Amino acid sequence: MNSDALRDLFSLPVAMVSGLWLLTACGPSTQSDEPSPSVAEQSASTTDAPIALVIHGGAGTITREAMTPEREAEIRAALQLALEAGYAELSAGGSSMDAIIQAINVMEDAPQFNAGRGAVLNHEGVVELDASIMDGATLQAGAIAGASTLDGGIRYPILAARAVMEHSPHVMLSGQGAEEFAESQGLEFIDADWFITDFRFEQWQGMQQANLLEDPSPWYSTVGAVALDQMGNLAAGTSTGGMTNKRFGRIGDSPIIGAGTYADNESCAVSATGHGEFFIRHVVAYDICARMRYQGLTLTEAADQVVNEVLVEAGGAGGVIAMDSQGEIAMPFNTEGMYRGSIDTNGQMTIAIYGDEGQSN
């Protein structure tokens, strides 16, 4: 499905999107961890090499009580589209890098998440975009930070991060430098108004009126993806608008390699979502991989220790998605919910939102 078709989907009335979800989802809206037959059939395609994909759309104060059925259906539909886009790339023999780009592009176009269209507004009412990507085979990485959309912005920030990795000698570019570089690479720019949704404007306006620097009920709707391809290579990517009403040029963990994103074939690949300051201080993404490599922990053990012990003790809220070189998946979070989904090495699709779904918390 091309980007225009995806954009058309996300502009449909809620009732139509809800109907699409009911027709296409792999399970009912409150229990979405049943296998999808069509995806499972794809997994037995052209190779015996394992492939897998895991995504997130953010963690935070996400409860059934605060969620309307219509919004839940939209979120689950968007997660499914992202999974299907990334997994189609893997099934066709594509690289893990290409697969996470496909998945994240869908979520950057989906207004339900805090990335690309639907990203949060800073203190001045402007969307600023951060993204990073890392190749587990080479340890090459790229990132952009604080890219403004004031006069039109980068439609797909994750593509800009990849361009930094592949077409510059640098790892991170920020602000105007990131914008000019993206333009020089021929990346798509789109008008400022396209990025701003009514939901985010009202959220920002409420914080302005209450003179709040931090949202009292945060939804860290950062998006991310991690994949394993047929060549055995891992990749991870993360994209976000940061924190609502952020000030003073604030940059969170999402564009910082080792904090919000990390990938190494020798250990694991990770994409994080949460209160970025804590993820930066504790180098969360790298710490999980390091515990595997140097302490011999399993992926589940390492991810759980960092998210549910280190971060909790420090007062940091959020979660991660992670995968090792065998395709094992972990999705721990210490908040009430995390938008998440995966297609494992058996081709089974899982989509979940709340803390009591599946075994991911």
Residues taking part in catalysis: 222
Residue that is written with structure tokens 């003790």 in the block: 313
SS3 184: helix
CA gap 325, 166 in Å, rounded = 23
**CA 361 to each of CA 72, 200, 310, 356: distance values in angstroms, whole numbers, following the listed order:** 19, 27, 15, 8
Task: Retrieve residue 279's tokens.
Answer: 């993820």
Task: Count the Cβ atoms, other than its own, within 10 Å of residue 41.
Answer: 10
Q: Which two tokens stand for residue 91?
A: 């099934």
Identity of residue 328 = E
279 in Cβ contact with 260 (< 8 Å): yes
* 211-246 residues labelled b (16+ CB within 10 A) or e (exposed): eeeebeebbbbbbbbbbbbbebbbbbbbbbbbbbbb
Identify the burial level of 151 via C-beta atoms within 10 angstroms of its C-beta, where 0-12 means exposed, 13-18 middle and 19 or more buried.
exposed
Q: How far apart are CA 128 and CA 241, in angstroms?
A: 6
Identify each DSSP E strand in 22-67 by its residue range. Answer: 52-60
Query: Cα(303)–Cα(360) distance, rounded to whole angstroms?
Result: 11
